[in-house]
Structure 1
Amino acid sequence: MADPQALARNVALDGLTAIFHAPSGLTHLLAPPAPQILAALAGRPGSAEEVLARIAESFELEAANPADAIAARLAELEAVGLVAKT
């Protein structure tokens, strides 16, 4: 699950998204699909497959294996503390 919106500030910057994570005091620069993954997880947890289904409703994913790509981005977001397994 992603941190609640109250804990982070998002600003779009020429194709990137700057996210200030209040609990850690860190600012992260994210490229797509990371911001879309966070939006898909906002307020509701989900597996890589569930996140993929949510994102696919609005975006066309170009990866050869989108589920693996989403799982890799989720692991990266978890490593920096922007998402947590529930």
Structure 2
Amino acid sequence: MDDAVYRAPPTDGLLIAPLDEFTAVYHRASGITHLLTEPAPQILAVLCEGGLSLDALLDRLGQDYDLSDGTREALAARLDELVEAGLVEAA
């Protein structure tokens, strides 16, 4: 899905609470609470602002974080996990 656009629900569809090294995310639509670790909460926060392709998301995250080689594949894997959890959709 190289040309997919990834979207997260608007922040009013989520309740987010930091818990030490975890972030609890309650997804109102499903009624499920997820425990996330970095970088998933940061990815989710960016995607709550609007839909982005994998490359656009990588560029956006690169503005705030020092990203190294191999990051595109790792980001794709994290996105797949968020899609499987139902927190992000790919269109």
Task: Please say whether Structure 1 and Structure 2 have the same fold, judged by a TM-score greater than 0.5.
Answer: yes
Q: Residue by residue, what CA displacement relative to the aligned partner does 1:9-64 show, whole Å, maximum 9, x if unpaired?
A: 000111211000011100000011101111111131112211111111111235x4
Give the whole-Å Cα distance in 2 for the aligned partners of 1:76 and 1:61. Answer: 20
Whether 1:58 aligns to 2:70 is no
Shift of 1:80: 0.8
Secondary structure of the residue aligned to 2:56 is: helix
Moved more, 47-56 or 75-84: 47-56
Equivalences for 1:1-86 in 2 at 5 Å? Answer: 1-62=7-68, 64-86=69-91
Give the whole-Å Cα distance in 2 for the aligned partners of 1:31 and 1:61. Answer: 17
Give the whole-Å Cα distance in 1 for the aligned partners of 2:67 and 2:35. Answer: 21
Matched letter for residue 33 of structure 2? T
Taking only the aligned residue pairs, the percentage that are identical comes to 41
Match of 2:4 in 1: none
Give the whole-Å Cα distance in 2 for the aligned partners of 1:41 and 1:26. Answer: 19
Matched letter for residue 85 of structure 1? A
User: Please, which runs of 5 or more residues in structure 1 have no aligned partner?
Assistant: none
Secondary structure of the residue aligned to 2:30 is: coil
Paired residues, number: 85
Shift of 1:70: 0.6
Two-structure CA RMSD over aligned residues (Å): 1.2
